[in-house]
Amino acid sequence: LVRVGWAAGEGEPARVAVPRNQLIEVLGQLADPAVVAESRRRYAASATDPTAIPAPLRKSILGVVAAHADAATWDRLHAAALAETTPLVKDRLYLLLASTEDETLARRALALALTSEPRKTTTASMIGTVSDRHPDLAFDFAMANRAAVEQRIDPPSRSRYFPRLGARSADPAMVEKIRAYARAHLPATARGDAETAAVGVEDLIRVRRERLPEIDAWVAKRQAPLAPELPVVGELRGRESGRSAY
């Protein structure tokens, strides 16, 4: 990212924009301090400077900002969602609110999902987005509000929607929670997705128990090799007809 920069340079090949976005997104997911700080700086500056977040980077930067949001930033994103009039953009903002890593803000997003603010079709996606980072929280919320959530989900999708909320959990209790839901609310012939989710949780727990110590030991014994040096943007300008270095 240092080499390709945050903004397109003069004469930059169009293909550089793709790795730039990917780098911001991946480094943001890894909570890289520099990327999180720069994304926050640009978001704060965008209140008075429309050029602070270039259009091609808007999705990536807002994704980093939302994931690492504090309460004030979450409130600003919420205000933007309320004010937005374009349905697709509005939906995207509500999903960003649900993508936070902060558990307290994730709880706020879940509560918000069942209000009249987001479109009914967005509710299920918001809860699903929370489950990406907080599967136990999202599953328990959906179970506690099952009737209200079901009103916002197509009936054929319900048998897989609820189990998938808990599929990323590493809590052994989630296995029985998913199976209990299936026994209580699904006919025997419709429990396949629930059983797949439950088995997936069991596999994740087993991998963490058996493999993570080995991985930790391997990493501790080795210094991560430096990534191969990539050509700077200027060196790419004469290679448009050649194979992409990215």
User: ∠ CA 21-70-53 to the nearest 5 degrees?
Assistant: 35
User: How many CB atoms neighbour CB 36 within 10 A?
Assistant: 17
Q: What share of the chain is helix, strand, coil (3-state, %, to 5)?
A: 70, 0, 30
Per-residue confidence in pLDDT tens, the chain, 246 aa: 777 778 777 667 777 777 888 899 999 999 999 999 999 999 999 999 999 999 889 999 999 999 999 999 999 999 999 999 999 999 999 999 999 999 999 999 999 999 999 999 899 999 999 999 999 999 999 999 999 999 999 999 999 999 999 999 999 999 999 999 999 999 999 999 999 999 999 999 999 988 888 888 888 887 555 444 444 434 333 433 343 332
CA distance 107 to 189: 33
Judged on CB neighbours under 10 Å (0-12, 13-18, 19+), 6 is middle
